[in-house]
Amino acid sequence: MRAPVFWLISFFIITESGDGILGGNDDIETKRELIVNKKNHPGSVQEYELLLQVSYKDSKEKRDLKNLLKLLKPPSLWLHGPMEIVRAKATTYCGNRNGVLRCTCEDGYTWFPPSCLDPQKCHLHMAESPQSCDCHPNNLTQSVNFCERTKVWGTFKINERFTKDLWNSSSAIYSKYTTGIEIQLKEAYKSIQGFESVRVTQFRDGNIIAGYEVVGSSSASDLLSAMEQVAGKAQAGLRKLFPLEDDSFRIFGEVQCNSIFFGFGFNKDEYTLPCSRGYTGNITAKCQPFGWQVIRETCVLSQLEELKKNFSVFAGNATEAAMSSLVQNLSVVIRQNPSTTAGNLASVVSILGNVSSLSLASHFRVSNSTMEDVINIADHILNSASVNNWTILLQEEKHASSQLLETLENISVLVPPTALPLNFSREFINWKGIPVSESQHKLGYNYQTELFPPNTSTPISGRVIIGSDQFQRSLPETIISMASLTLGNILPFTKTRNDHVNGPVISTLIQNYSVNEIFLIFSKIDSNLSQPHCVFWDFSHLQWDDAGCHLVNETPDMVMCRCTHLTSFSMLMSPFVPPAITPVVKWITFVGLGLSIGSLILCLIIEALFWKQVKKSQTSHTRHICMVNIALCLVIADVWFIIAANVKATVNPSGICIAAVFLTHFFYLSLFFWMLMVGILLAYRIVFVFHHMAISLMMAVGFCLGYGCPLIISVITIAVTEPSNGYRRKDSCWLNWSRGSKPLLALAVPALTIVTVNLVVVLLVLTKLWRPAVGERLSQDNQATVVRVGKSLLILTPLLGLTWGFGIGTMVDSQNVAWHVIFALLNASQGFFILCFGMLLDSKLRQLLFNKLSPLNSWKQTSKQNSSDLSAKPKGTKFFNALQHKGTYAFSHTGESSNDIMLTQFFSTE
């Protein structure tokens, strides 16, 4: 029966190299049954450890394989320069038992660290003798923890100044220290049973901190105990050569981290080494529970540093040709030196960013060959294997990935229409540019791409659709689209969100042109992830943002998004506004709101100035209290609407947005309920002519209705919908419509109900007014009735909120342009209409205001006369009097019904 066996063969290969190391995160390359794990020693020697998996039939064949190891020669196919095999060892053998792979150690070796082979797939049986490792996978090509000799570690401190030459294994000072230390320690430990070798593994800064490793064939506890017994002898030998610091000599049976790169260490230890020859900068690792983790790395290829210097030299008088040459040289350097260290990534992003900025400022154009070089460079640094190095880079330079995306977009728009169409399809990025033609009027724009995630043959597709209706204006020059899967992994999410980009990152660029609607279709990378959000990258806030983007449809494998941006008044009642009229409605909204707020403030000032004069009668007092509260609620609601429209819906803290939504909702509801109070009082005066209610009772009912009911509705709405994140819209600070709870109905239903009730009141008023006033000649009946009805409609329509009835049209027929324009025009300007028809048509207020503002010297005398005889009309009121019905104040007359008198009283004509 053939049983597989795994041999761990360590080759320490000597070749010419630089000082220090390049990095500690180099990938393991797997080819069939051979794994090559590159390890760079912090000196001129590069070390490579090979794992060789072979099979044998019997014990004889096993012995032959061991003998073969001694005859192996260094491979010459994948390395250059002089090489030698320093050591070869067979440590671990495995057999198949009942479908489970069981592995044990060769004589003289034990499992180190305690986890065996693959910690996630294998289990170490500690109680058995010898200890065995059981694994379920068929092959162990990714295994890292094989059987080893027993190891014990030690450190001590030398009171001499540290020099960086101690990081260079080819330097004289390195040789001096390592040779002296190893000779003295071997002399001290040679009498220990099971001792095999001692080797200096590291020098660290802090005076000189030396670390060494002892290998033996006895158990770890026995070896450690024996070394502690001869510790005095070891220290005495070292003091013959070096000034040792007292109490610095320590021995450890276990270490948390151990590697050829950084030596051994303990939890939270940090170790910094210089980069290897040909690179500038340093690399720093930190000891974590799972081993050494690189936390900082600035290893930059010397040729990239040279390119950065060259750019700074000619930046002042750069030309298009110089920019193209620089990009071409950068592409060549990267192609010849494919290592994507964090420092190299930062340098490439910096160089491309400088090229982009200078080209934009100088209005340079980018040729098709230069654009291809840029895409080749981007494809290299977006290699999925470089994601770990991007993670290291982003810890120090948080904006690097965002800068790369912005740079690619900026360079892309510099490609002239004459150089298009172009299509560059690479492994990690796809780029396509087209010149815009008349066909976009009919066909719109369609971009589709496919990218393949690492280690899979299933493509991930992305698609962009822009309808032909978006190209009915003057056409743009070009449309550029690009897509990448790696960008989704390196553009960061906020720490408070546990989200992942589950599709390609697609960027579509149309320079100097706005599109109000765009559809994007993504296939899912991981179909098991749920709750998709449609987002775009916000360069200003350096975060993903879902403002203006909505989920249209989701299937098990696909997500469809629709993106647009809305800030309009008509969204108060409508789920959405047609993109074609968004700019118009937006302009109407903010102009109308500005005019409305100014008018309402003027209303409140007028009421404050003449409050004593207007509250003399119960009816007048009640009416003006309602007017003040309507003006106050509307001005506060309008101000909060403007605040909400200018708050980024996804910017932290989101409480600002929620507060704006709540207060806008509350004060608009209060506005409607105060308008309902006006309607109820008006109906009360018409129906119950001779019945009088105490003003205190009226005000109690008014304030409970005007503020109590809105508060209850607002609090219940936010309490029910906010826990499920359904309270506000994702694209703007306003009540949501897209979720099942639809909290927008908490405004729309009360508002439209109040509008309906007030419409009934207005019809009742018009019925009572449809008759001639007392004292009018029959020939004037029709004319007087029309004047009364017209003036009543002008006063009551804004005061009772009838214009909000157009909200029904925006909700039912949301695609109709007319409904949105009319709604925004009438309701954004409601405060202005209240000032004109609710205040300035009040003849008593007009009179008081005229007297207050009259520039005549005799204004005091005129004021006295007017206070005793309100029927006297100053010249300046001729225009307003033309709108007023004659004889309104003739309370001594007896009309056809006393309802006429009470009605004119409520219309502010006392």
List, for residues 480-517, the tens digit of each pLDDT value: 999 999 998 898 876 545 678 888 999 998 887 778 78
Task: Report the candidate in 844, 764, 823 with the shortest Cα–Cα distance to residue 796.
Answer: 764
Q: Which pLDDT score is estimated for 235?
A: 94
Q: Give 47 or 904, the one with higher predicted confidence.
A: 47
Residue 861, judged by CB atoms within 10 A of its CB (0-12, 13-18, 19+), counts as exposed
Distance CA 569, CA 577 (A): 10
- Non-local (6+) Cβ contacts of 11 within 8 A are 47, 48, 49, 50, 74, 83, 85, 86, 87, 88
Q: Give 174 or 21, the one with higher predicted confidence.
A: 174
Length of the chain: 910
- Non-local (6+) Cβ contacts of 40 within 8 A are 17, 21, 22, 23, 26, 46, 47, 261, 276
Q: Give the residue-averaged pLDDT of 348-376.
A: 93
For residue range 714-745, what is the model confidence (pLDDT) as tens digits?
A: 999 998 888 877 787 765 788 876 545 678 88
Q: Which pLDDT score is estimated for 886?
A: 31
For residue range 336-346, what is the model confidence (pLDDT) as tens digits?
A: 888 889 999 99
For residue range 570-585, what is the model confidence (pLDDT) as tens digits?
A: 444 444 555 556 667 7
Looking up tokens 């493509």 gives 459
Of 71-80, 159-168, 248-257, the range with the lowest mean pLDDT is 71-80
Residue 21 pLDDT > 70, yes or no?
no
Q: Which pLDDT score is estimated for 483?
A: 94
Residue 588: pLDDT band with limits 50, 70, 90? confident
Which residue(s) pair with 205 in the sheet? 208
pTM of the model: 0.56
Q: Give the residue-averaged pLDDT of 203-212.
A: 89
CA dihedral 815→820→822→824, nearest 10 degrees, is 180
Highest mean pLDDT range out of 129-138, 682-691, 716-725, 862-871? 716-725
Residue 648: pLDDT band with limits 50, 70, 90? low
Q: Give 820 or 36, the one with higher predicted confidence.
A: 820
Q: Give the residue-averaged pLDDT of 7-13.
A: 36
Highest mean pLDDT range out of 70-79, 556-565, 812-821? 556-565
| DSSP conformation class of 21 | B
Q: Which pLDDT score is estimated for 83?
A: 65
Q: Give the residue-averaged pLDDT of 633-642.
A: 89
Distance CA 350, CA 406 (A): 12
Residue 229 pLDDT > 90, yes or no?
yes
Q: Give 579 or 794, the one with higher predicted confidence.
A: 794
Tell me how far the alpha carbon of residue 311 is from its chain's centroid: 33
The SS3 call for residue 122 is strand
Structure tokens at 743: 């909290």
- The percent of residues in the chain predicted with pLDDT above 70, rounded, is 74
Q: Are 506 and 462 in contact (CB under 8 A)?
A: yes
Residue 569 pLDDT > 50, yes or no?
no
Residue 692 pLDDT > 50, yes or no?
yes
Residue 81 pLDDT > 60, yes or no?
no
Task: Report the candidate in 161, 174, 120, 179 with the shortest Cα–Cα distance to residue 144.
Answer: 120
Of 430-434, 652-656, 809-813, 889-893, the range with the lowest mean pLDDT is 889-893
Concatenating the DSSP letter of every residue in 137-171 gives SS--TT--B-EE-EEEEEEEEESS---GGGG-TTS
Q: Which pLDDT score is estimated for 538?
A: 82
Q: Give the residue-averaged pLDDT of 794-812.
A: 74
Residue 361 pLDDT > 70, yes or no?
yes
Distance CA 799, CA 466 (A): 44
Structure tokens at 299: 């290893």
Residue 280, judged by CB atoms within 10 A of its CB (0-12, 13-18, 19+), counts as middle
Residue 205 pLDDT > 80, yes or no?
yes
Residue 408: pLDDT band with limits 50, 70, 90? very high
Concatenating the DSSP letter of every residue in 700-766 gives HHHHIIIIIHHHHHHHHHHHHHGGGT-SB-SSSSSB--SSTT-TTHHHHHHHHHHHHHHHHHHHHHH
Residue 864 pLDDT > 50, yes or no?
no
Residue 204 pLDDT > 50, yes or no?
yes
For residue range 828-847, what is the model confidence (pLDDT) as tens digits?
A: 888 888 888 777 777 777 77
Residue 454 pLDDT > 60, yes or no?
yes
Task: Report the candidate in 208, 203, 233 with the shortest Cα–Cα distance to residue 158.
Answer: 208
Residue 33 pLDDT > 50, yes or no?
no
Of 112-116, 157-161, 401-405, 767-771, the range with the lowest mean pLDDT is 112-116
Which run of H or E residues covers position 209? strand 208-216
Q: Which pLDDT score is estimated for 905?
A: 33
CA atoms lying within 13 Å on the CB side of residue 319 = 3
Q: Which pLDDT score is estimated for 650?
A: 46
Q: Give the residue-averaged pLDDT of 542-569.
A: 76
Q: Which pLDDT score is estimated for 781?
A: 58
Question: Phi-psi region for residue 775, left (φ > 0), alpha (ψ -120 to 50) or beta?
Answer: left
User: What is the average pLDDT score of the chain?
Assistant: 77
Structure tokens at 739: 């979720």
Q: Give the residue-averaged pLDDT of 423-450.
A: 93
Residue 35: pLDDT band with limits 50, 70, 90? very low
Of 21-35, 69-83, 112-126, 648-662, the range with the lowest mean pLDDT is 21-35
For 581-611, give one letter per residue: b (16+ CB within 10 A) or e: bbeebbebbbebbbbbbebbeebeebbeebe
Structure tokens at 544: 């993903």
For residue range 741-750, what is the model confidence (pLDDT) as tens digits?
A: 678 889 888 9
Of 209-218, 300-309, 763-772, the range with the lowest mean pLDDT is 763-772
Q: What is the CA radius of gyration of the chain?
A: 42
Of 54-63, 568-577, 672-681, the range with the lowest mean pLDDT is 568-577
Residue 691: pLDDT band with limits 50, 70, 90? low
AA letter at 787: V
Residue 381: pLDDT band with limits 50, 70, 90? very high
Q: Give 726 or 248, the one with higher predicted confidence.
A: 248
